[in-house]
A and B are shown apart, each in its own frame.
Chain A
Amino acid sequence: MPTPTSDTPRLAIRGIRKVYPSVVANDGIDLTVMPGQIHAVLGENGAGKSTLMKVIYGVIRPDEGELLWEGRPVIISNPAQARSLGIGMVFQHFSLFETLTVVQNVALSIPGKLDLDPLAKRIEEVSERYGLPVDPRRMVHALSVGERQRVEIIRCLLQNPRLLILDEPTSVLTPQAVRKLFETLRQLAAEGVSILYISHKLDEIQELCHKATVLRGGKVTGTCTPAEETPQTMARMMIGVDLPACSHGEPEDGGEVRLLIQGLSHATDDPFGTDLKDIHLEVKAGEIVGIAGVSGNGQQELLRAISGEEPHADKRAVRVCGVEAGHMNAARRRGLGMCFVPEERLGRGAVPRLSLTENILLTAYRKGMLFAGLIRFGVAKRFAEECIKRFDVKCGGAHSEAKSLSGGNLQKFIVGREIMQEPKLLVLAQPTWGVDVGASSFIRQSVLDLRNSGTAVLVISEELEELFEICDRIVVIAKGTLSPSKVTSETNVEEIGMWMSGLWPGAKTQGEATHVA
């Protein structure tokens, strides 16, 4: 048996293959990580990154292939075993329990007796050493996303991992918080910990990673040293073609106000929610306004208040196309000319088990699809078919279930359904979240075209790059309050990033800034 030396890879994987009934998620993947190396795994949504990490962490079993841990072949059959080998994982969608405290959450992944006091002390020690401040006694649901991520990292570090896997760790952080995270990761690497860093953000990978393995369609399409590459060359490896660019056009000046929010305040009755405080916002015809912010700062609540999914008593707080609409439900607001693309596609924007035709009915029924309370399925079907054609939705046809579509295609369908209703005001939440590059740029272009034809557009997104690419003005939401707006060309990522911590000029919530970061 070879003894691990610094030339022995910490982890080497050979020919990993994982097949699901509808897709080959991993197809013969090789990857090698050295001790102390920060190794990027780069790929689009659906390239197979998450599946590969779950294989390494023992959450799912590969159909073929082998793993070598410090030179020795191993079969990792569950996460506990992975942890005992020295593998830690920070999940993209955090695997924390909201109604438990931080220390209870950590205890769940540490074997042995339940002894919370000494554990809380150890958490404090680690959090101090690596600059990851967190209070072990707090309930997780009261933590910001940034804090939750720290809890996950600390949970891994407590077990002295020799390989740390981070799955899209920066998608929930402000640019400033990303920099702090990178410092922590570099410190860990310097101590000899190997890091697998999963991301689709090319600039971050260039800044942080020593090596990169690129995946596309479940296969490795290349390995490289990011420092020697450009974002363009890596993008080509990642998506196979050059990054598509959008054609912008100019925003219309002095269009009428289509969405006006004045003094909207709302105390949420969801114990895990965020209160909205005195929100003011206007969106005019022919412009795209973006709302930036770290998730969990009131985006959900604001969206529900705008869409009418949660109508409020004060009808003057929200005006749609000049009509007081605060008290109206979503259907009545649609009647005023507002359309809405929600963040969750399955289960909110579309009913998973209904056909695309039936999903058209969900919001577009006003387009002549009803007669005396009965449904005119023929009209709905033609609408669906046109939507599929115009928005290039890849599916089996209008009779396909929404569930059977890929994320990108379903999103194109939903965006198409809303745009085809010719809205005066379109609201989109995370329009390209989890969508492949091709569909993303198609959706962005559709939104830009819509703006150019005189529609008012509001986009809420956690992806700053996206907002900077398509928006004419940007506002920031933090702790349930909204910042003043900035014309996109007159600001930059750095400034908006600061604002995302609640630190804009005249902000009332200075003291809570650290809580957000």
Chain B
Amino acid sequence: MWLKFEQRPEPSKVMTYLSPLLAVGLMFLSGLILFLVLGKSPVEGFKVFFLNPLRDSYGVAELFLKATPLMLCAVGLSVGFKANVWNIGAEGQLLIGALAGGWLALHFEGSTSRLLLPGMIVAGALGGMAWAAIPAFLRTRFNANEILTSLMLVYVAELMVSWLVHGPWKDPDGFNFPQTKLFSATATLPLLLAGTRVNVALIFAIGALVVGWIFMNRSFMGYQMKVAGQAEFAGRYAGFSAKRSVWIGMLAGGAMAGVAGISEVAGPIGQITEHISPGYGFAAMIVAFVGRLSPIGIFFSSLLMALLYMGGEQAQQYLNLPSSISKVFQGMLLFFLLGSDVFINFRPRLVRRRK
């Protein structure tokens, strides 16, 4: 007997929504096994990793704080992914967004203008878009694979941040730490809830989800992106511009990543350091896939991913495990999702192997 996959006449709608849940279930299960293998009590590990972070309202607020950049990046990336535009450089776009907006904050230090903060957000978006425009241009003009170019630019962006905080932008009174001055109050995002760190960026993120939903599901341009992603030749047959899809896909990702970047440095971090993002730009790809590239799904999957980040910190603190365990969980989650997706188009059947 062996397992065979048999194509369904029509893809299963139920499995489309069930498969992320199945993937999450499998991830929990392998988490238990992982703790067991590491010689920790699975129950204890599960508690520390998945439950501890949410035991009080501050924890819940932190969850939303960490989910915010993930939501922003993921909704931007999903626009491109729908059109088969593989922007995997959101991490770099996030950093450049942080630099662009941060530059305003540092340059107009002490300014009390009400325009400073909005200006920083816009600069962040523009910075991210500019960084994403490079692979978009190289793809549309020279046919260069955007996966590889956008990824390479992540390393360049990281080095650029490192250079600035070690060099020109270093806080002269900062005891030689590689970081800029703290942003002034007028250059910092207002908090939504006193006593927590959740700030207005969450509103931006939810706004982005709403706009993203309308764009993908109701606008003709969103429809064209979908066609470009599912059937390139149909797009050409219809006369939709493939280049425009690439540009929109890349720029949407870049803009949202840029906003995420400036929201981090003008939010919980409050200055530019070498550690702006613990890989939000990469994790956002997983968020986008697990969220089925739909804004509603992305809302929930970004919360889940934020939980994995917090779980990693908890595991480091209480279980003496490296915090990179959260990346192991993230990777597993995406794998399980891709695997579970087979059930959307196929149904498993046990067949007898013929001699």
Contacts and interface: CB of A to CB of B under 8 A. Distances in A.
Given a CB threshold of 8 Å, the question of whether A touches B is answered with yes
A349 B237 contact: yes
B220 interface: yes
Contacts of A344: 233
B230 A351 contact: yes
A347 B218 contact: no
Interface string A91-128: 00000000000000000000000000000000000000
B7 A347 contact: no
A77 B354 CA distance: 9
B241 interface: yes
B351 to A, nearest CB: 10
A404 interface: yes
B14 to A, nearest CB: 16
Contacts of A374: 214, 218-220
A311 to B, nearest CB: 9
B221 to A, nearest CB: 7
A333 B234 CA distance: 16
Interface stretch (A155-163, A185-193, A207-215, A352-360): A352-360
Interface string A337-373: 0001010101111111110001001110100001001
Interface string A6-49: 00000000000000011000000000000000000000000000
A48 to B, nearest CB: 17
Contacts of A353: 11, 230
A351 B227 contact: yes
B9 A373 contact: no
B277 to A, nearest CB: 33
Nearest to A311: B239
Given A61-B354, A329-B239, A404-B9, A375 B219 contact: yes
Contact of B230 (A354, A363, A404): A354
A308 interface: yes
Contacts of A331: 238-240
A75 B230 contact: no
A352 B233 CA distance: 12
Interface in A428-471: none
A21 B8 CA distance: 7
B239 A308 contact: yes
A295 interface: no
A75 B241 CA distance: 52
A137 interface: no
A167 interface: no
B22 to A, nearest CB: 21
A18 B234 CA distance: 33
B311 to A, nearest CB: 36
Nearest to B238: A362
A465 B168 CA distance: 78
B223 interface: yes
Contacts of B241: 329
Contacts of B240: 331
A333 B239 contact: yes
A246 to B, nearest CB: 27
A307 B237 contact: yes
A332 interface: yes
B7 A375 contact: no
B108 to A, nearest CB: 36
Interface string B3-17: 000111111000000
Contacts of B221: 373
A361 B234 contact: no
Contacts of B220: 361, 365, 370, 373-375
A312 interface: no
Contacts of A307: 237
**Size band of the A side of the interface?**
35 or more
Contacts of B237: 307, 309, 330, 340, 342, 348-349, 362-363
A375 B218 contact: yes
A401 interface: yes
A370 B220 CA distance: 7
B172 to A, nearest CB: 50
A334 interface: yes
Contacts of A370: 220
A307 B7 CA distance: 34
A299 B78 CA distance: 37
B239 A352 contact: no
Nearest to A308: B239
Interface string B221-248: 1010011001101101111110000000
A21 B219 CA distance: 36
Contact of A347 (B6, B8, B231, B354): B231
B233 A330 contact: no
B130 to A, nearest CB: 25
A373 B211 CA distance: 14
Contacts of A361: 220, 223
A330 B8 contact: no
Nearest to B355: A75
Contact of B239 (A334, A358, A403): A334
Nearest to A333: B239
Contacts of B227: 351, 354, 362
Nearest to A396: B10
Contact of B234 (A308, A362, A365): A362
Count chain B CB atoms within 10 A of each CB in A75, A347, A352 and give the residue with the most: A347
B226 A354 contact: yes
A344 B233 CA distance: 9
A16 to B, nearest CB: 15
B198 to A, nearest CB: 33
A330 B231 contact: no
Count chain A CB atoms within 10 A of each CB in B11, B227, B239, B240 and give the residue with the most: B239
B234 to A, nearest CB: 5
A346 B241 CA distance: 19
A365 B227 CA distance: 14
B223 A330 contact: no
Count chain A CB atoms within 10 A of each CB in B218, B219, B220 and give the residue with the most: B220
Contacts of A354: 226-227, 230
Contacts of B238: 330-331, 362-363
A258 to B, nearest CB: 19
B245 to A, nearest CB: 13
Nearest to B237: A348
Count chain B CB atoms within 10 A of each CB in A21, A349, A370 and give the residue with the most: A21
B344 to A, nearest CB: 11
A374 B227 CA distance: 16
17 contacts: A21-B7, A61-B354, A307-B237, A309-B239, A330-B239, A331-B238, A342-B237, A349-B237, A351-B227, A351-B234, A352-B230, A352-B231, A354-B230, A363-B237, A375-B218, A401-B11, A404-B10
Interface of A: 21-22, 61, 75, 77, 307-309, 329-334, 340, 342, 344, 346-354, 358, 361-363, 365, 370, 373-375, 401, 403-404
Instruction: Report, nearest first, the 10 A-B pairs whose CB atoms are least far apart.
Output: A331-B239, A330-B239, A22-B9, A348-B233, A329-B239, A351-B231, A347-B231, A362-B238, A309-B236, A351-B234
Given A347-B233, A374-B218, 16 more contacts: A21-B6, A21-B8, A61-B354, A309-B233, A309-B236, A330-B237, A340-B237, A347-B234, A348-B233, A350-B234, A353-B11, A361-B223, A363-B237, A370-B220, A374-B219, A374-B220
